[in-house]
Amino acid sequence: MKHGIPVNLPGFSNRPKSLKILLNPQSHKKEATQVYYEKVEPLLKIAGIKTDVTITQYEGHALSLLKECELQGFDGVVCVGGDGSASEVAHALLLRAQKNTGVETDSILTPARAQLPLGFPPRHVQPVDVCTFSTSGKLLRFGFSAMFGFGGRTLALAEKHRWMSPNQRRDFAVIKALAKLKPEDCEISFLPFNSSRDLQERRAQEAPKSAQQDMILNNGSMALIIARNTSRREFIKHLKRYASVKNQFNFPFIETYTVEEVKVHPRNNTSGHNPEEQDRPHETASESSFPWNVDGDLMEVASEVHVRI
């Protein structure tokens, strides 16, 4: 026993012995580095696990690193960071898997699995589903969750004001997006979970959706949440419930479905804002594209997006 922790590891033949660590120093109020070296690394040393630590320097650093670095000597990759870091690392590992197995991302149907497991301390082993986001048959990215409409426009506004502090630009973007709130003219089609292959057409005037339902993480399904056109006042009530114990989906304009895949097809040729507004070029996505929020990253797409598990 070391430091009060029983070391009964020889019997676990499949335990990791070498890990690649990717650490985002900006995460957890810039305390991630301290947390890792004070709480995580000592446990890995006690377990006799070798580590190779990279402290990321900029957004996209983990993605570019994992595309090229040698991973053959590692039993897994550990991400020390927030949701954005986790999404970036998962996306990078899956892109690498497609490249290594010769899968063409221009016509991706069934993605190859990542060769290495991805860990987030202090989580246990848990298989999870990941979505593909594609347009016209071409892969855009992998991700865990997405928002189209209000969530996408809010992020697009925030990205245009990165000179502000994170909290300031978040609050500014939410207020600005609410002030300009209008329904998205789009067509939504989806395949219900465990149903026939015939897509059910759902046409929606959509005041955009927000966060996720609680759901099983690896059963091949995803939650589709649609917020139909409603008043600004009612939509704000819906948003406020995400910070409370009340059911945020208990509104007549909210619809929820369990699905296998979704297509979102914008029916107009602009991104939904008045082109005569003088401040528009500085505050929204480009005129020919629609903003999506995928795991906290801005994705701008000009046409239909197909989301599949």
CATH, residue 232: 2.60.200.40
Range of the domain at 201: 146-308
Predicted pLDDT of residue 148: 93
Whether residue 152 sits in one domain with residue 271:
yes
Predicted pLDDT of residue 109: 63
pTM: predicted TM-score of the whole model, two decimal places: 0.73
Whether residue 153 sits in one domain with residue 48:
no
- Contact indicator for 137, 303 with CB cutoff of 8 Å: no
Whether residue 299 sits in one domain with residue 175:
yes
Please give the tally of structural domains in the chain.
2
Whether residue 160 sits in one domain with residue 87:
no
Predicted pLDDT of residue 90: 87
Nearest one of 115, 113, 109, 116 to 139, comparing CA atoms: 109
Beta-bridge mates of residue 201: 189
Whether residue 187 sits in one domain with residue 42:
no
Predicted pLDDT of residue 235: 92
Phi-psi region of 30 (alpha: psi -120 to 50; beta: other; left: phi over 0): left
Whether residue 285 sits in one domain with residue 181:
yes
Predicted pLDDT of residue 265: 92
Whether residue 157 sits in one domain with residue 59:
no
The answer to the question of residue 184 being in a domain is yes
- Contact indicator for 121, 40 with CB cutoff of 8 Å: yes
Whether residue 209 sits in one domain with residue 89:
no
Query: What average pLDDT values come out for the chain (309 residues) when binned by 10 residues?
Result: 51 75 84 87 88 88 85 86 83 84 67 75 68 87 90 91 84 91 89 61 40 57 90 90 82 90 80 43 56 89 89
Whether residue 42 sits in one domain with residue 175:
no
Whether residue 122 sits in one domain with residue 155:
no
Whether residue 303 sits in one domain with residue 241:
yes
Whether residue 100 sits in one domain with residue 187:
no
Predicted pLDDT of residue 189: 93
The answer to the question of residue 249 being in a domain is yes
